[in-house]
Amino acid sequence: MNSRDKHVGRTQKEKEHYIRGLKNIPCGSTDDAEIRLPSSDKPEKDLSIQKSTKHRKTKTSERISDSLREHYISWILGFIGAAIIFFLSTFSRSLGNLEGKVSEIKELLSNINSKYDKVIEKNHNQDLKMQESSLKIKEIEKKID
């Protein structure tokens, strides 16, 4: 069996319960008089504490949650800043769309105005022709009478 298969991980609640239990255990005194270690002159074993440069691998979710706990103000300010940037970019995009629509409407209005001016001029010309025709009809009627 692999050594990895022997160990079973604990949940956060189990860890907290274990730590709470350790804190509740009464500790005896640790006087130097009670501890008697045999002296050893054998330099064969190195009992110094090894300093490892390797870091324990942790899950990404744990690293993120630790970072959130330690730097929550920075995270909050970052989210607020990102939201402001998002809303400003959305606002500028919608403002650009509105400006485009306004320019299209201005072009349409200028086209309508030019067509309206042409219609008015045409109506005026027709009125002039009608007046001319009515004058000619009156002259013809005078000649006939």
Most confident of 17-21, 34-38, 78-82, 137-141: 78-82
Q: Is the pTM of this model over 0.85?
A: no
Per this entry, what is the length of the chain? 145
Residues 55-78 have pLDDT tens digits of 778 888 988 888 888 998 998 999
| Residue spans of beta strands (DSSP E) within the chain | none
Residue type, 23: K
